[in-house]
A and B are shown apart, each in its own frame.
Chain A
Amino acid sequence: MARLIFRRLLEAIPILWIVATLAFLLARAAPGGPFDRESPLPPEVKAAVEAHYGLDKPLIEQYGAFLKNLATANLGPSYKYPGWSVQELIADKFPVSLELGLWALVVALIVGLGAGLLAASRPNSPRDHGAMGLAVVGICLPTFVLAPLLLWVFAIKLGWFNAMGYASGADIVLPALTLGLYFGAFIARLTRGSMLEVRNQDFMRTARAKGAGFSRAYLLHATRNALGSVVSYLGPTVAGLLTGSFVVETVFQIPGLGRFFVSAALDRDYPMVLGTVVFYAALILLCNLLADLALAWLNPRLRKNG
Chain B
Amino acid sequence: MADTRDMLSAPSLSPRAQAWGRLRRNKAAVAGAVGVCVLMAACFLGGFLWPQDPAAQELSNALSSPSLSHPLGTDALGRDMLARVLQGGRVSFAVGLLGTAVSLVIGVFYGMFSGWRGGRTDALMMRLIDIAYALPFTLFVMLLMVVFGRQFWLIFVAIGAVQWLTMARIVRGETLALKQRSFVEASRVLGQNGRGIFKKHLLPNLAGTIAIYATLTVPTVMLLEAFLSFLGLGVQAPLTSWGDLIKDGAVLMEEAPWLLIFPSLAFSLTLLGLNFLGDGLRDALDPRRGEK
| Residues of A in contact with B (beta carbons under 8 Å apart) | 11, 15, 18-19, 22-23, 26-27, 29-31, 123-124, 129, 132-133, 135-137, 139-142, 144-145, 148-149, 152, 186, 189-190, 192-194, 196-197, 200-202, 205, 228-229, 231-233, 235-236, 239, 247, 261-262, 265-266, 273, 276-277, 280-281, 284-285, 288, 295, 299, 301-302, 305
A262:B138 contact, CB within 8 angstroms:
yes
B134:A190 contact, CB within 8 angstroms:
no
The dominant DSSP class at the B interface is helix
With A30-B146, A265-B139: A144-B247 Cβ-Cβ less than 8 Å: yes
B231:A266 contact, CB within 8 angstroms:
yes
A140:B264 contact, CB within 8 angstroms:
yes
B180:A266 contact, CB within 8 angstroms:
no
Q: Which of A22, A29, A140, A201 is the one whose CB lies under 8 Å from B288? A: A201
With A136-B271, A288-B130: A22-B166 Cβ-Cβ less than 8 Å: no
Minimum-distance CB pairs A-B, first 10 = A281-B134, A232-B173, A265-B138, A193-B212, A301-B180, A140-B271, A140-B268, A19-B134, A145-B250, A136-B275
Residues of B within 8 A of A194 (CB): 209
Residues of B within 8 A of A229 (CB): 170, 173-174, 209
- Report how far A288 CA is from B133 CA in the complex, Å: 11
Q: Which of B28, B169, B286 is the one whose CB lies under 8 Å from A124? A: B28
Which chain B residue shows the least CB distance to A300? B180
With A189-B216, A193-B212, A265-B139: A284-B130 Cβ-Cβ less than 8 Å: yes
- Report how far A202 CA is from B134 CA in the complex, Å: 39
Chain B 203-237 interface 0/1 with A at a Cβ cutoff of 8 Å (1 = within): 00000110011011001000100110011000000
Chain B 246-277 interface 0/1 with A at a Cβ cutoff of 8 Å (1 = within): 11001101100000100010011001100110
A19:B135 contact, CB within 8 angstroms:
yes
- Report how far A140 CA is from B250 CA in the complex, Å: 13
Residues of A within 8 A of B289 (CB): 200
- Report how far A6 CA is from B230 CA in the complex, Å: 42
- Report how far A140 CA is from B275 CA in the complex, Å: 11
B136:A261 contact, CB within 8 angstroms:
yes
B239: Cβ under 8 A from any A Cβ: no
B173:A228 contact, CB within 8 angstroms:
yes
A26:B127 contact, CB within 8 angstroms:
no
B288:A136 contact, CB within 8 angstroms:
no
B151: Cβ under 8 A from any A Cβ: no
With A149-B253, A193-B209, A200-B286: A233-B170 Cβ-Cβ less than 8 Å: yes
Q: Which of B143, B169, B208, B250 is the one whose CB lies under 8 Å from A235? A: B169
Residues of B within 8 A of A280 (CB): 134
CB distance from A292 to the nearest CB of B (A): 9
- Report how far A285 CA is from B130 CA in the complex, Å: 7
With A22-B135, A140-B219, A145-B246: A236-B165 Cβ-Cβ less than 8 Å: yes
Residues 84-114 of B at the A interface (beta carbon under 8 Å): none
CB distance from A211 to the nearest CB of B (A): 19
